[in-house]
Structure 1
């Protein structure tokens, strides 16, 4: 894309109307930016430079706060054909000054800048020479004897110089006044140089102190900042903030997820996005607190959490899978084999999560749970005899019965003839199971569900003893990820845009999938 100069009266363009480049040596430069967050000195300097450019161009449509990104100043308005480095405020090209189309800003004098540079160079050379001379004058250990010899009677160098000076003065006669004036000048020059050297030493010491302080503060900031090395090698830290058992499990999950993330540029790194989400799920930290910890806005915390939960839901829900019968036989605990053989397929139960009260009366009636005496969302969960979560339904209103959820959640589609399901008495679906599975093998399914209505005290005791594992898993999930133990806002139980699941469904699925990454409880 071609550029044109924004200075009044300057018709310089990079390309002609046919798209051909006009002048290969002509360059165009943007207005300098006002840099904030780099320290007070840089902020004030860049602010002055931006003001200087705006004043030099002097156009009504260009102000300090309203400068189009397409506005350019060509190299014709600079002495050296380009702007100077922003820290060289005394350079003639720190701001444009040539051919500006007005006389309000006088062209800068390059000769003056050159004289200033020469003076600065001479001053540095004098300081360097004074330092070298000071090092040469410093006596070495072997020179002490010569100084003592001088004190004992042999005239030293200084005394010899004074004698020669007296003799030369006596011979010169009338030139004594000139010699005295020259000596005074030399003494004064030496005093000034010595003072400057002392100042240099103090400045160097102060600079070194500031550098050391800067390094210490950077190290302290790095330790406090939640960066990619936040966990270090501390497994307890990983367990506390994420719920995962150790650093190896977290890094395995992290390395699996990072390549699947979009390459869009974000304020937070992928590690920080995952950690923020884990901390919200695990500790139920308020978004305001997370915004303070990660030094981002509250809006960024909400957006990051929602996006990361959706991403985790899409990639981790496949870990909640119904195992095949052969796998169940291999991992079946012996207490299940002794009680029911190898036929137990799953243990099911429902758990409820407290929610805020909806403003819709119909929704409020559907969500009120007579068991919890609160508005809730209910989920059907199924675990294998080994204790791994293998089924999780979508959320239903707290007023929905366990039987209705079991029949309409798709749970029965996973059962095979001969499978036994351990459940509470509230899951009375014996008649419906026989009807749904009549074409397959009804006697086996009926047998599998006959345990729902206990036939004897001993059988009831065995079922209750083994069915308690699902309650332990539910407590483990809700205890590990405390966001499920609190009160969920109404916004999380609304369907996500373009999807048939809610944000709470995604959160529960992610928490269950992460629990599957931890050691089993059976």
Structure 2
């Protein structure tokens, strides 16, 4: 299809072998009105077949950057006085275009020299001058396809975006900076989230946090406990919680005495999952850690490492014992309402409690845990617990223990020192 330039007095046509480019009017309303005003044809409105040749642009081609002088056509020669005027040849048009490009390059060179001189003098460059230099640079270095199909596709994409995307190297550098800033911000948010979350990364380098939540001195000990328990946790079916989170949840339940609902909120699971996880982990820890870490030392080791403070007062001391209680949650229902009232009364000082487990723990004089009994309901006495938990079977003739008593006597059997 042969296109003719719509500018009055311009006789350029799109014919085979021509070096000219023909551009359709832009679809952006504001830019289109500026093109129509530049053509300056009274009462004329372009249609889909209207084209504008490249001779009406300073650099010989249109530029889609709004800061460029070729964003709107600006080169218009007066209409010829007589129809016998010769049509300019293609070589003449090319010479004019080359002259305009050379002029633009010369202007860019002069402006570059001026900016370097101002930089040497230490003067600050004005934003308006910088914008003009950028516009000239973009107009001199921009290269767009002259094919009208490519031009139409580019303009349709720009219209969908609502703006004209810059194609200069400066814009690419700006996008790289924005991408780097977004990546840095993303990493910062990830680090802050890891610090707030109850995960391995949040506890790895924070010994105080490990000690607060688990009671263990540092992360290395916690990791060692995890290494001992991991092979026995394969049968636990918990999709949302990892093995580390299951251990951490259990230790927080035992250490801080948190309610199951609180732990469910913290780890993002249901209350039933918390209850099941704690029950299974306590069983695994009891069967795995107690035989490994809790053992009764020989009498020779006890006598050899007996602290100096006990050698004069309790030279035959083998163990220091005490009882402690661990409360557990019990679902409230209509059937056990009376039982709950008894529990409340016992917690206020009247009667025994039925929602606690009682344990007997034995500690060697050196401070090592040597015995832990199985938990029984809280309505059992200390003496009955000591006699029925198997603790007495660990003692040898001549061994003595120290129990907690205000009178100084053993609160289990009433004697002053000896258990046997």
Question: Normalization by structure 1: what TM-score?
Answer: 0.41
C-alpha contact (below 8 Å) 2:203/2:210 kept by paired residues: yes
Q: 1:238 deviation in Å?
A: 1.2
Tell me whether 1:419 sits opposite 2:419 in the alignment. no
Distance 1:276 1:228 in 2: 12
Tell me whether 1:334 sits opposite 2:334 in the alignment. no
Distance 1:349 1:287 in 2: 27
| 3-state SS of paired residue (1:378) | strand
Residue 418 of structure 2 is aligned with which of 410, 433, 448? 448
Tell me whether 1:233 sits opposite 2:199 in the alignment. no
C-alpha contact (below 8 Å) 1:366/1:398 kept by paired residues: no
Which of the pair has the greater relative contact order for Cα pairs under 8 Å at 6+ separation?
1
Q: Which residue pairs with 2:278 in the alignment?
A: 305
Q: Which residue pairs with 2:164 in the alignment?
A: 198
| 1:397-431 per-position Cα deviation (integer Å, ceiling 9, x unaligned) | 4443333222222111111121122234432277x
Tell me whether 1:375 sits opposite 2:353 in the alignment. yes
| 3-state SS of paired residue (1:301) | helix
Residue 320 of structure 2 is aligned with which of 331, 336, 347? 347
Distance 1:322 1:399 in 2: 28
* C-alpha spacing 1:253/1:380, structure 2 compared with 1 (3 Å): closer
Tell me whether 1:322 sits opposite 2:291 in the alignment. no
Q: Which residue pairs with 2:192 in the alignment?
A: 223
| 3-state SS of paired residue (2:220) | helix
Q: 1:391 deviation in Å?
A: 1.8
Distance 2:353 2:412 in 1: 21
Distance 1:288 1:365 in 2: 23
Q: 1:266 deviation in Å?
A: 3.3
| 1:172-203 per-position Cα deviation (integer Å, ceiling 9, x unaligned) | 66999xx9xxxxxx798869857949336699
* C-alpha spacing 1:296/1:240, structure 2 compared with 1 (3 Å): same
C-alpha contact (below 8 Å) 1:345/1:384 kept by paired residues: yes
C-alpha contact (below 8 Å) 1:368/1:397 kept by paired residues: no
Q: 1:290 deviation in Å?
A: 2.8
C-alpha contact (below 8 Å) 1:347/1:385 kept by paired residues: yes
Question: How much is the aligned-residue C-alpha RMSD, in angstroms?
Answer: 5.2
Q: Which residue pairs with 2:222 in the alignment?
A: 250
C-alpha contact (below 8 Å) 2:64/2:164 kept by paired residues: no
- Residue segments in structure 1 that go unaligned for 5+ positions in a row: 1-129, 139-157, 180-185, 431-445, 451-522
Residue correspondence of structure 1 range 106-185 to structure 2 within 5 A: none
Q: Please tell me whether Structure 1 or Structure 2 has the larger radius of gyration of its CA atoms.
A: 2
Residue 394 of structure 1 is aligned with which of 358, 374, 388? 374
| 3-state SS of paired residue (2:216) | coil
The structure richer in helix per residue is 1
Distance 1:271 1:290 in 2: 15
Q: Which residue pairs with 2:248 in the alignment?
A: 275
* C-alpha spacing 1:368/1:416, structure 2 compared with 1 (3 Å): farther
* Alignment length (residue pairs): 273
Question: Normalization by structure 2: what TM-score?
Answer: 0.50
- Residue segments in structure 2 that go unaligned for 5+ positions in a row: 1-60, 94-145, 404-408
C-alpha contact (below 8 Å) 1:367/1:398 kept by paired residues: no
